[in-house]
Chains A and B, each alone.
Chain A
Amino acid sequence: MDSIADMGGTQGWGPAQVPTDEPPFPEPWEGRSFALTVLTMGRISGRNLDAFRHALGRLHPVDYLVDGYYGRWLNAAELMLTDSTILAPGAVDARARRNRGEDVEEPAFPEPTRPDYRASAPGSLREVDQDPAFAVGDVVRTKDLHPEGPTKLPRYLRRRTGTVAAVRPPHVLPDTHAVFAGENPQHVYTVAFPSTELWGPDAEPFTLHAEVFESYLETR
Chain B
Amino acid sequence: MTDAPSDRLSPALRTEALEQLLVERELVDPTVMDTFISTYERDVGPLNGARVVARAWTDAEYRAWLLRDGTAAIKDLGYGGPQGEHMVVLEQTEDVHHVVVCTLCSCYPWPVLGLPPSWYKDPAYRAGMVRTPRRTLREMGLEVPEGREIQVWDSSAEVRYLVLPRRPAGTDGLDAEALAALVTRDAMVGVAEVAAP
* Alpha-carbon distance between A70 and B12 when the two chains are bound, in angstroms: 10
CA distance A35 to B119 in the complex (A): 21
Q: How many residues of A contact B (CB 8 A)?
A: 85
Is there an interface contact between B153 and A25, defined as CB atoms closer than 8 Å?
no
Known: A5-B105, A152-B157. A17 touches B119 (CB 8 A): yes
User: Among the listed stretches B17-25, B47-55, B166-174, which one makes contact with chain A, having 4 or more residues with CB under 8 Å of it?
Assistant: B17-25
Q: Residues 134-152 of chain B: 1 if any A CB is under 8 Å from the residue's CB, otherwise 0? A: 1110011100000001111
B154 adjacent to A154 (CB under 8 Å): yes
| 9 shortest interchain CB distances as A-B pairs | A8-B103, A211-B157, A95-B17, A35-B33, A17-B119, A96-B17, A13-B124, A29-B12, A206-B150
Residue of A nearest to B28 (CB): A39
Chain A residue at minimal CB-CB distance from B96: A207
CA distance A101 to B12 in the complex (A): 15
Interface of A is mostly: mixed
Give B103's nearest chain A residue, CB to CB. A8
B9 interface contact, C-beta 8 A: yes
A16-B128, A67-B11, A93-B9 as given contacts; A171 in contact with B139, CB under 8 Å? no
Chain B residues near A171 (CB-CB < 8 A): 157-158
By a beta-carbon cutoff of 8 Å, the part of chain A in contact with chain B is 5-11, 13-19, 22-29, 31-36, 38-40, 43, 53, 56, 60-62, 65-71, 74, 77-78, 86-87, 91-93, 95-97, 99-100, 109, 123-125, 152-154, 156-157, 166, 168-169, 171, 188, 190, 198-199, 203-213
**Given A17-B125, A24-B41, A96-B16, A34–B105 Cβ distance below 8 Å?**
no
